[in-house]
């Protein structure tokens, strides 16, 4: 013992012990409840999956729009359906998401009810999961050699428009800001190593290694946990049944200022509603007023965008369907509502015409139609996500018609 105390490395031993204690403490505290709401939502979902205790017959996969689906709306009749939708992370993660669910020891579901936007099916592999500053030299599944060629010799022979390049980089930075935190929080190196090659694999590994340490993963939460304001709870019913659509924008029903209280309320709300969380309910009155003032401009913008026809790439969808077929799991597509002006758009008609042959080739793939596929724009907060009234209207049909039809077709009761 004396030799250790006299050692010139003693200060390093002390630092090492302190770091170890700090890391062990971080691993044994629910620090995700001090994260910002989105990070906490992803962490909470990951922990639920990794618990291995889930026994749901139907899993809902999708995006931020389909998070509005509430399987327990009005009753517990469909309590063995759970909404595992997450804010958008691109089209490639769903197979890995289900594999993670199964590998954790959860009961294998009988049905995947996919409720994401059509573009998640049509976009192939989507964006490359690398830092946006090198995105222009990479694409999904590119080899490391080809990537180095793009960064080196090929670059000398390419004349790029500077403004276009800058704008493209800004867009990709926005995508990366949205996707990266969610992806890195949900998956580990072991989850994703086999799914990516070349620069994508290297970049994801380098980004995921620090996430192995909870003291790094929850660095923002640790700072929030040291703020006494986060322990000051106020009278608040955000996410509870007390906050109906008439009260949802009152001060008592908007997210509280404490990260801790906010994350607790959201987690409790999602468990009570089997994963449902309508993100429009988080929008402040000022934000909604600004959206209302720009409503006509947004409608014109989305109407114009909906008329553009893309060349669909269903390779990722088919890979997912093949995996589900191997697992003997049925796939049902459910179109989460769009504003009415999308009904006859090129975006929707092109999707319907091109995805139907794909479904026909897979006996486990189906499309479950419903009356609320297109709703009046007044039921949307930002012409993308349903407001409280829109979510209520959708869920009335979801539990009275859609889920009964699904359960009848698959004989789930």
pLDDT for residue 14: 72
Cα distance between residue 363 and residue 329, in whole Å: 11
Domain assignment present for residue 385? The answer is yes
Alpha carbons within 13 angstroms on the beta-carbon side of residue 26 total 20
Per-residue pLDDT tens for 203-242? 888 888 999 999 999 999 999 999 999 999 999 999 888 8
pLDDT for residue 172: 44
Return the number of other C-beta atoms located less than 10 Å from residue 6's C-beta: 8
Per-residue pLDDT tens for 106-115? 999 999 999 9
Domain assignment present for residue 256? The answer is yes
Split into its structural domains, the chain has a count of 1
Domain assignment present for residue 378? The answer is yes
pLDDT for residue 1: 54
Domain assignment present for residue 114? The answer is yes
Per-residue pLDDT tens for 121-140? 998 887 776 565 556 655 66
- Chain centroid to CA 356: 25
Domain ranges, residue 314? 46-410
Domain assignment present for residue 19? The answer is no
Cα distance between residue 59 and residue 81, in whole Å: 6
Domain assignment present for residue 11? The answer is no
Return the number of other C-beta atoms located less than 10 Å from residue 264's C-beta: 17
pLDDT class of 169 with cuts at 50, 70, 90: very low
Termini Cα distance of the chain = 67
Return the number of other C-beta atoms located less than 10 Å from residue 147's C-beta: 21
- What does DSSP assign to residue 123? B
Q: What is the mean pLDDT of residues 309-315?
A: 90
pLDDT for residue 82: 99
Cβ contacts of 236 within 8 Å, gap of 6 or more: 252, 253, 256, 261, 265
Per-residue pLDDT tens for 41-55? 999 999 999 999 999
**Is the confidence at residue 266, as pLDDT, over 90?**
yes
Phi, psi for residue 178 in degrees, rounded to 5: -75, -50
Q: Helix, strand, or coil here: 292?
A: helix
């Amino acid at each position: 013992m004396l030799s250790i105390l006299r050692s010139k490395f003693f200060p390093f031993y002390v630092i090492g012990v302190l770091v170890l204690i700090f890391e062990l403490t971080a691993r044994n505290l629910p620090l995700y409840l001090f994260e910002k709401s989105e990070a906490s939502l992803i962490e909470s979902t990951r922990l639920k999956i990794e618990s291995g205790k889930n026994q749901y017959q139907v899993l809902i996969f999708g995006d931020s729009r389909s998070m509005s689906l509430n399987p327990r709306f009005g009753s517990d009749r469909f309590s063995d359906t759970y909404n595992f939708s997450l804010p958008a992370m691109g089209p490639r993660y769903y197979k890995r998401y289900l594999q993670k669910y199964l590998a954790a020891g959860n009961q294998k579901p009988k049905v995947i009810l996919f409720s994401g936007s059509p573009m998640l099916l049509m976009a192939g592999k989507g964006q490359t999961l690398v830092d946006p500053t090198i995105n222009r030299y990479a694409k999904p599944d590119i080899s490391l050699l080809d990537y180095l060629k793009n960064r080196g010799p090929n670059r000398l022979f390419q004349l790029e428009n500077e403004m276009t390049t800058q704008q493209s980089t800004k867009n990709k930075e926005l995508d990366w800001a949205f996707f990266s935190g969610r992806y890195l929080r949900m998956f580990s190196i072991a989850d994703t190593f086999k799914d990516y090659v070349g620069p994508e694999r290297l970049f994801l590994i380098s980004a995921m290694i620090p996430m192995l340490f909870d003291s790094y993963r929850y660095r923002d939460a640790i700072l929030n946990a040291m703020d006494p304001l986060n322990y000051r709870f106020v009278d608040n019913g955000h996410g509870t049944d007390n906050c109906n659509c008439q009260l949802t924008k009152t001060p008592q029903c908007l997210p509280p200022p404490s990260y801790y209280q906010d994350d607790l309320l959201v987690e409790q709300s999602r468990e009570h509603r089997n994963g449902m969380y309508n993100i429009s309910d988080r929008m402040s009155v000022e934000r909604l007023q600004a959206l209302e003032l720009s409503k006509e401009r947004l409608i014109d913008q989305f109407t114009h965008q909906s008329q553009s026809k893309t060349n669909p790439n269903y390779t990722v969808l088919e890979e997912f369907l093949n995996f589900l077929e191997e697992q003997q799991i049925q796939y049902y597509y459910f179109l989460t509502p769009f504003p009415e002006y999308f009904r006859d758009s090129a975006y929707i008609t092109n999707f319907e015409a091109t995805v139907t042959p794909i479904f026909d080739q897979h006996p486990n793939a189906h499309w479950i139609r419903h009356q609320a596929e297109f709703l009046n724009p007044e039921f949307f907060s930002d012409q993308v996500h349903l407001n409280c009234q829109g979510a209520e209207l959708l869920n009335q049909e979801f539990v009275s018609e859609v889920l009964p039809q699904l359960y009848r077709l698959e004989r789930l009761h």
